[in-house]
Amino acid sequence: MPYYGEPSSSEAPYIYRSQAKSGTCSFYAYATVYVIKKNKRVTLAIKAVQQQNTLVAIITYLLALIEPLKLKIERLYLDREFFCVPVIRWLQALDIPFEMPVIIRGKHGGTRQLIRGRRSYKTTYTLNSDKYGSVTFHVWIICTYKNGKRRAHGREFFIYAVYKVQLSLHLIHDDYRLRFGIESSYRMKNQCRIKTTIKNPIIRLLFVALAFLIINIWIYLVWHYLSRLKRSSRQVLSHLFTLKQMLEFLRQAVDRNYGVACEVCLPSG
């Protein structure tokens, strides 16, 4: 989320520098763990990202938060920002199955050399870093055809770094698309988040966490009270009780408990 102005000493560690957006290069940044279980999708943990946090430290912290739940990670979906030597090496050392997009670099060499031919295929690739050394891993290259999608034609390639994923080559692209549900959770979070001009990073983290908590409660209510079994599958009737409607219910409850300001009084004299 965009940050404007000069940060104080307490705010500075939580300001994340990135590409310019919304008129600033400074942001409050958050990392979350999102689980998909039998089509239920909930956010389990959140971390405010600090300047000194490495990508490995962020993942370690989040996985430690959910460790008491004793979840078995079938596949860990990671954003392309995590594509680097330390993260891949660390996940391999922990023996955690994962999928993540490969960043395409180079004009002819690098990962761009993997884009060739007319068929999907598997191979291995060694990623090198001057600072962190190198790591070798499996890459799955998916070749698809645009077929007029967005008025475009021709071949399109998707490259994934893969470790111990029990899927066929042709399913990996559609499987990774499940990760985009976390993007939807961020958009929903923006509907629920308390808007504030307060710059205190602790309070802002609280407001973001509350937003995700409200979404989780909504998902629970929909699945338990607005769903039914139909032909061995569960039909979820979320359109009968949307997130926007739940937020309106909450607003009405706050109005009843705390009252509504209906007039403005000028000071005497």
Helix (H, G, I), strand (E, B) or coil at 117: coil
Task: Report pLDDT for 123.
Answer: 94
Backbone torsions φ then ψ of 59, nearest 5 degrees = -65, -40
Q: Please state, in angstroms and rounded to a whole number, the distance separating the CA atoms of residues 165 and 96.
A: 9
Task: Report pLDDT for 7.
Answer: 86
105, 115 Cβ separation under 8 angstroms: no
Is the four-CA dihedral 76, 79, 80, 84 of positive or negative sign?
negative
Local confidence band at 156 (pLDDT 50, 70, 90 cut-offs): confident
Nearest Cα to Cα of residue 53 among 36, 33, 73, 30: 30
Task: Report pLDDT for 68.
Answer: 93
CA dihedral in degrees (86, 89, 95, 99; nearest 10)?
Answer: 80
Cβ burial of 8 (10 Å; 0-12, 13-18, 19+) is exposed
Local confidence band at 108 (pLDDT 50, 70, 90 cut-offs): confident
Local confidence band at 124 (pLDDT 50, 70, 90 cut-offs): very high
Using alpha carbons only, what angle is made at residue 37 by residues 31 and 38, rounded to the nearest 5 degrees? 150
Task: Report pLDDT for 221.
Answer: 93
Task: Report pLDDT for 21.
Answer: 86
Q: Please state, in angstroms and rounded to a whole number, the distance separating the CA atoms of residues 106 and 110.
A: 5
How far is CA 9 from each of CA 28, 132, 160, 199, 200, rounded to the nearest angstrom?
15, 31, 40, 12, 11
Average per-residue pLDDT in the chain? 89
Nearest Cα to Cα of residue 201 among 26, 67, 24: 26
Residue-wise pLDDT for 25-67, tens only, equals: 888 999 999 898 887 889 999 999 988 899 999 999 999 999 9
Strand-strand pairing, 133-145 and 76-77: unpaired
Residue-wise pLDDT for 237-261, tens only, equals: 888 999 999 999 999 999 999 988 8
Enclosing H/E stretch for 136: strand 133-145
Task: Report pLDDT for 16.
Answer: 84
Task: Report pLDDT for 13.
Answer: 87
